[in-house]
Structure 1
Amino acid sequence: MIKANRADLAGQVEHVSDTKGDGLGFDILSFNVDGNPKFIEVKTSITQSESFYVTKNELEFSKDYSGYFYLYRLTEFDWLNNIGNLFMSHGNLYKLLDLKPILYQGKF
């Protein structure tokens, strides 16, 4: 944002999973150069082929805000050196991912 002459927006970027909790459906609130919000969900793994988990809340948020939702996928991540490969997707996760339900909640 600073390189784009939008220091006003750079100061508003927030790691919301830390500041507001992990239930909002995204991890980072950022902005596009035009000022529109950019809701970023980050999924990280140490291998490229490893699958990752997505919550129902993340799925629904991505559907409701598909024009502003981004999935940042970090693979082959080296935690010691803080490096890896970044893949970015934009839009509704229901349409972007091959989803497999693996967990159900039961109640009597």
Structure 2
Amino acid sequence: MKIIEKNEGKKIDYTITENKITFADELMLNLKKYERDDPNHIDVCLDRFGNLVSGVIPGVAEVYVAQIDIPAREYDFIADGVDENGEPKEVPMPLPFDMEKCTLTLWALK
């Protein structure tokens, strides 16, 4: 996973285990479940009560602590016989999720 520190200061504690990232032993996200055919962006914020939340909730989320960017799912195309015109036909097969292609951006805690 690529890590970017957006600004100076203490960042939230986090651990990465396989496809999962856990923030402050409070909020865990399995990034593989968030992989889509389009890029996906997840905001992690502190709410006004000091709880971690996923997403920006107007009036509740007050401070960004992290952002996660998951690239679009990649495919390999496998030969699958021929079509009705005798042309080779291929079917898309998703490649395994690769955590190393994701980006974690950390913001300083205030």
The alignment's TM-score, normalised by the length of structure 2, stands at 0.26
Between the two structures, name the one with larger relative contact order (CA 8 Å, sep ≥ 6): 2
Higher helix share: 1
Structure number with greater Rg is 2
Higher strand share: 2
